[in-house]
């Protein structure tokens, strides 16, 4: 209703996307991309792995909510084509969570694409997944993120960067632009623009012009 129906021109098996939840994840970092990909349900199927099955508290949670339910654990045996990580204050402890980092490394070995929004890049960096890669991150926390992965080739001014199978974006709302780029990467720019228009989002046209996708 609020987005146009997805193209059904090319019947394909939906791409399995896992959006990793952890305590203190930034809500919009994950819900922006989930919205962009979720409306193209014949192309993408979204799973929400967490530290355990059950509600996970977001970074903006105060007394109670919001809580998003994790359906799988990080070490899920399910094969994911795309792994997506948000940022948020939970990344400050996440960079020392060996269980999370190991799960990311194992998934990264088999995925088509591993993506981060905002300080989610710190988790990828600490897991060694950005070594030698061009990548970007949240602008305000950039200095801290850099310390997590000194072998990363940082592109601080980018809204998003795709290098090989690693896709990283700037802070929070930049994840929406990145998700539209992800859609363009897999299914072409026409569909990507149609979905962005459907959710009334002005997809950053400059990043593409700069050859960043």
Classified as helix, coil or strand, 44 is: strand
What character string, x for contact with a copy of itself (CB under 8 A) and - otherwise, covers 105-144? Answer: -------------xx------------------xxxx---
CA distance 73 to 153: 31
- Counting contacts by CB under 8 A, is residue 62 touching a copy of itself? yes
- Counting contacts by CB under 8 A, is residue 18 touching a copy of itself? no
| 15 counts as catalytic | no
> Both tokens of residue 28?
């919009």
CA 129, 134, 139, 144 dihedral sign is positive
Residues 6+ apart with CB under 8 A from 60: 26, 27, 66
What character string, x for contact with a copy of itself (CB under 8 A) and - otherwise, covers 138-177? Answer: xxxx----------------------------xxxxx-x-
Classified as helix, coil or strand, 47 is: strand
CA distance 72 to 1: 29
Q: Which residue matches tokens 């988790």?
A: 123
- Counting contacts by CB under 8 A, is residue 59 touching a copy of itself? yes
Among 15, 31, 84, 207, contact with a copy of itself (rule: CB under 8 A): 31
- Counting contacts by CB under 8 A, is residue 55 touching a copy of itself? yes
Among 18, 20, 22, 46, contact with a copy of itself (rule: CB under 8 A): 46
User: Beta-carbon neighbour count of residue 59 at 10 Å?
Assistant: 18
Among 6, 15, 39, 182, contact with a copy of itself (rule: CB under 8 A): 39
Cα first-last separation, the chain: 29
| Residues within the interface to a copy of itself (CB under 8 A) | 1-4, 26-29, 31-32, 34-35, 38-39, 41, 45-48, 55, 58-69, 71, 87-89, 91-92, 118-119, 138-141, 170-174, 176, 198-202
């Amino acid at each position: 209703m609020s987005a146009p129906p997805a193209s059904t021109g090319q019947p394909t098996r939906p791409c399995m996307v896992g959006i990793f939840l952890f305590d203190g994840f930034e809500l919009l970092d994950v819900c922006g991309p989930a919205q962009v990909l979720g409306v193209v349900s014949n192309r993408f199927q979204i799973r929400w792995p967490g530290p355990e099955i059950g509600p996970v508290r977001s970074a903006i949670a105060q007394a109670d909510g919001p809580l998003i339910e994790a359906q799988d654990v990080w070490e899920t045996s399910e094969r994911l084509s795309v792994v997506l990580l948000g940022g948020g204050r939970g990344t400050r402890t996440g960079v020392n969570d060996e269980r999370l980092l190991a799960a990311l490394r194992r998934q990264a070995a088999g995925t088509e694409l591993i993506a981060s929004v905002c300080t989610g890049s710190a988790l990828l960096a600490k897991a060694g997944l950005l070594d030698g890669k061009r990548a970007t991150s949240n602008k305000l926390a950039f200095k801290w993120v850099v310390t997590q992965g000194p072998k990363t080739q940082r592109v601080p001014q980018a809204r998003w960067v795709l290098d090989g199978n690693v896709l990283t974006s700037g802070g929070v709302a930049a994840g929406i632009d990145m998700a539209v780029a992800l859609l363009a990467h897999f299914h072409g720019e026409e569909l990507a623009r149609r979905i962005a228009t459907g959710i009334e989002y002005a997809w950053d046209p400059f990043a593409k012009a700069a050859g960043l996708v």
